[in-house]
Amino acid sequence: MFDFYRVAAIVPEVKDADPEFNTMQILKKIREADSFHPAIIAFPELAVTGYYCQDLFFQKKLQDASALALLKIREASKDFSSVIIVGAPLIVNNMLYNAAYVFQGGELLGVPVKTFIPNYHEFYEKRWFQSASSLPVDSLLLGEIFPNANKFADLDPIDEETLLREVPIGNQIVFDLDGKFKLGVEICEDLWAPLPPSTKLALGGAEVIVNLSASNETIAKRSYRQSLVKHQSAATLSDYIYVSAGTSESTQDLIFSGHSMVAENGTMLNESKTFIADNYILVADMDLEKIRNDRLHSNTFADNQYLSLSELDSLREVKCYDSDIPESDGSFIMAKKKPFVPSSKEKRLQRCTDIFAMQVGGLVKRLEVTSAKPVVGVSGGMDSTLALLVAAMALKKLKRPSTDLVAITMPAFGTTNRTYENSLALIKSLGTEPIVINIKDACIQHLKDLNHDLATHDITFENTQARERTQVLMDYANQCNGLVVGTGDLSELALGWCTYNADQMSMYGVNGSIPKTLVRWLIDSTVETGMFPESSAVLKDILDTPISPELLPPDENGNISQKTEDAVGPYILHDFFMYYSFRFGFSPKKVFFLAKKAFHEDYSPKEIITWMEKYYRRFFSQQFKRSCMPDSVKVGSISLSPRGDWRMPSDASNHIWLQEIEECKLEVLADSGAEA
C-alpha cells in the first residue's frame, strides 16, 4: 500500500569448499528470514562455495557440488515468495565467472556476473575468474547452466521444457518484479570502480541494487565501505543492499567481518553493529516511494538517462510475472519524531553550528551590498532571539561595531514582564542598547479609528499589534539606514501562522528555512559552544519560555495566557507532517501511518489526525503569504520560497487531500469502536 518492501541481508556460517554444508546453512537462514516476510533475501559473494577456495575453483568436484547446491536452492525457493540471491561460480564456454543467482518461486530469473575482477594487494581473482565483459553470450539455457541437472538422485527431475528455458546472464540485467519494483545486482569490487555497473542499472530503471560482497577487513576499511555504499545509493537514487562474507570465511592472511548495510538515497537504514560478525540476519524496510519521488524531482537523473540512451540499449529487462513479492507492513521503517534534528548531541551540535554559519553568511552578504544596519524586532521569544544572534554575529564577521545592531522591543497588550526583561537583557548582553517603543497607544488609536471595541480580543485586535510592530521596524530602518531582518521560521510559513504584511514581511529573512523544532537547538548550540558567553544565562531562560505571539493580555498572575500550540497544534507534529508531505510528496494516509508509528507514546491517533487536518487546511489556504515572502537563506532540503523550491497556485483546491484525511478519521473511529 505504501511501497514498503523488506530486505533480509544474511551472513551465514560458511565453510570454504563445502557447498553441501553451506547450502544447509543458506536454506536454514532462508527459513528463519521467511518469518520477516522479506521481498529480497541476499547472501554474500560466492556463499555457496565460500569466497576463498582459490585454485579449488578449478576442481570438477567443487563445480559439481556447487551446481547441486544451486539446484537445491532453486527447488527450495518454490516454498518462499522472496527473491533469493546467492553467490556462486558460473561456467560458460569453459570459462569461470563470479556470479549471483537470482531465484524466485522455483525459477532461476537470471545470473548477474561480476564485471571488475580485483587483482591487486591481497586479491588474485583474475587467476580464477573472467570479467562479465568477456562473456561470449548474454543468455544460456537452464540446461546449459546445469548440464547434469537430472543426474542428481536427491533432486526432483526438471522437465525438458524448463531445461530449454532461456536464462539471461551478464552485468546488464534489470529484474522487473511484477511491476512492484525493479532490481539490479552487482558484486563486490564493482562498487569500487569509477563507473559501477549499478549506475547503469539504476539509469535503466533499477530502484533497488543488491551487492554480494566478500570484503576482507582492515583498519578503517569499514568507514570507507560505509561511505561508498551511502554515496552510491545517493548517486543512483536507490536502495542499496550490501551483504558481505562473515568471519567463518576467514583463513590464511585474511579476516572477513560480515559487514552488511542497507542504505536509501544516502541514508543508512540499518547496518551490522558487531565489528567482526557471522551467522546473522540484517533486516530493513525500504520505502520505494521516497526513491520514486526523488527521481521524479531530479532532472539530473533524467538527463543522465537521456544522455546514456545508447548505452542503456544493451540493458535487458527481465519481467517476472505472477511473482508474489510481499509488501512490508512497515514495522521496520524508522520514523523519527524530529526529522529535522539529528538524534546524537555531537551531530546536532555540528548541524546547528553549520546552519548558523549559513544564516550568518547570507546576512553578511546582504549587509555588505546595502551597507545597512540590521534592524531586529525582539520579543523575547526564540525566533527573534535567533535572528538577533545571527545579526550580531554578522556584524562581528564584518568587523563592524556591535552598536550597529539596532534591536527594538515593542511591548503591547500581551507582553509579559518575563519576555520584556529577557529582551532587554539579551540586547544589552550583545553590546548594544535596546530601543523600547511601546505601541499600546498607537494600537489603541488605530482600533478607535476602526470603531473596534477594545474589549474584543479578536483577530483584528491581534493583527493590529503585529502590523504596528512591522511598521515601526520598517520606518525606523528608513530613519537609521537600516535593513529589517525577518524572524519568521519555516513552520510558521507552512502553516501561514504569520500576519500578512506584518511578521510575514521583512527585508531579509534569516529563519525562513529553519523549522520550529530546530530553532531551539540552534540557540542551544550557541550556548553549548560558548559563542555568546555574556548571553548564556538569558538564552537559557528564553529557551524555557512557552511559544507565544503575546498578542492577548497576560493572565491574572502576569504569565503568558496565549500559547501558540494550544491554537495551531504541536509544532513537533506539524514539522513531522511538513517533512514527509513536502520532502517526499507522501499522501495524508502515509504521513498518518508514519506519525502514528513515531508518536504512539505521545499522541493518540485521534489527536494526530485532528492536527493533521489543521496542517493541510492551513497549508493550502495560506499559500498567498508564501508567494510574496522576502528573500530568505535556504539552509536545508526544504524551503518554501516561491523563487526556489516551492511553486504553488494560491487558490489550489485541497479537496483530495482532505478527502483522504476523512478516510483516516473513519479508520480512527472504527479502531476506537473495536477497542471499546
Q: Is 114 a catalytic residue?
A: yes
Nearest Cα neighbor of 81 from 288, 241, 320 is: 320
What region, left, alpha or beta, does residue 600 occupy, with left being phi > 0 and alpha being psi -120 to 50 degrees? alpha
Which residues on adjacent β-strands are paired with residue 6? 285
Nearest Cα neighbor of 279 from 243, 241, 242, 247 is: 247
H-type alpha helices, 324-408 = 345-370, 382-397
> Rounded CA gap, 674 and 605, in Å?
14
| Secondary structure string (H, E, C) spanning 208-254 | EEEEEECCECCCCHHHHHHHHHHHHHHHCCCEEEEEECCHHHCECCE
- Please identify which of the residues 13, 29, 45, 53 carries the catalytic annotation: 45
* DSSP 8-state class, residue 325: P
| Dihedral angle, C-alpha 648, 653, 657, 659, nearest 10 ° | 180
Distance separating the N- and C-terminal Cα atoms of the chain? 27
The phi, psi pair for 328, rounded to 5°, reads: -90, 155
- Please identify which of the residues 53, 188, 498, 664 carries the catalytic annotation: 188
H-type alpha helices, 480-579 = 490-495, 516-528, 536-543, 564-568, 571-578
- Please identify which of the residues 29, 114, 396, 590 carries the catalytic annotation: 114
What region, left, alpha or beta, does residue 317 occupy, with left being phi > 0 and alpha being psi -120 to 50 degrees? beta
The phi, psi pair for 661, rounded to 5°, reads: -65, -35
State the DSSP string of 118-176. Answer: --STT--GGGT-B-GGG-S-SEEEHHHHSTTGGG-TTS----HHHHT-EEEEES-EEEE
> Rounded CA gap, 317 and 307, in Å?
19
Q: Which helix (H) or strand (E) holds 187?
A: strand 181-187
Q: What cell was used for 586?
A: 507522501
The answer to whether 493 touches 512, Cβ cutoff 8 Å, is yes
> Rounded CA gap, 185 and 11, in Å?
17
Residue with cell 507582553: 415
Residues designated catalytic: 45, 114, 188
